[in-house]
Every structure is written in C-alpha cells, then in structure tokens.
Amino acid sequence: MGDFLDFNEDFRLNIDPIKFSITTCTKICDALDNDDDSCLIANHTQEHADEIMEIDVVAQKEEYLEILELNLGRIEEEEEYELCGRVIKWINKLKEDGKN
C-alpha cells in the first residue's frame, strides 16, 4: 500500500481565510446551539496521483472556545456583527462553564 499523502509534492487547499473563518464560526455556533459534540467545518476532495483524497476539517467540543477566540478578530474586521454577537455570547458562556 502506498503512502496516504506525500507531503513532498505540491498539495494546496485554495481557501479564502475570511470565508473560512466566517464558516467556521457559524458552524461552531450552530453546533453549540444544538449541543453537538463535534461539527464538520469543511470537506475537501482532491485527486492525488491515482487516488481521490477526501479531507475533513472537524472541530470537537473541547476545541470550540479556542477556535472561536482565534477567529473572532477576522469576523470583526469583516463587520459580521450578527455573527460576532453569537461568537462573543458563546465565548463568554464557554468560559463561564469552564469555571464551574
């Protein structure tokens, strides 16, 4: 069986970082609203050599706070105010829940 992925070859994901942050925060807030333990952020399929590779970006509940904090600045810069409100609400709730 061959290597799953040869990182010596060019492998790029063409992702707009702003759109990715908006999507990430939206999906995590939705997951928190639904009390989900994980959420699929993105799925990418790419042909590599003779194989089709599928890459999933999944966030786990224990990562939600850190991910929201890391992406808040970018969505603020994009003036996504409704989403900012949701993110800030969940950041505060997750921090409060972590104290108990």
What are 74-94's pLDDT values in tens digits? Answer: 999 999 999 999 999 999 999
d(CA 35, CA 55): 24
Name the pLDDT band for 100 (thresholds 50, 70, 90).
very low
pLDDT tens readout for residues 18-44 = 999 999 999 999 999 999 999 999 888
Spatial separation of the C-alpha atoms in residues 58 and 33, rounded to whole Å: 17
This prediction's pTM: 0.79
Q: Dihedral sign, CA of 78, 82, 87, 92?
A: positive
Whether the Cβ atoms of residue 28 and residue 69 lie closer than 8 Å to each other: no
Distance (Å, whole) CA 78 – CA 84: 10
Q: Where are the domains positioned within the chain?
A: 17-95
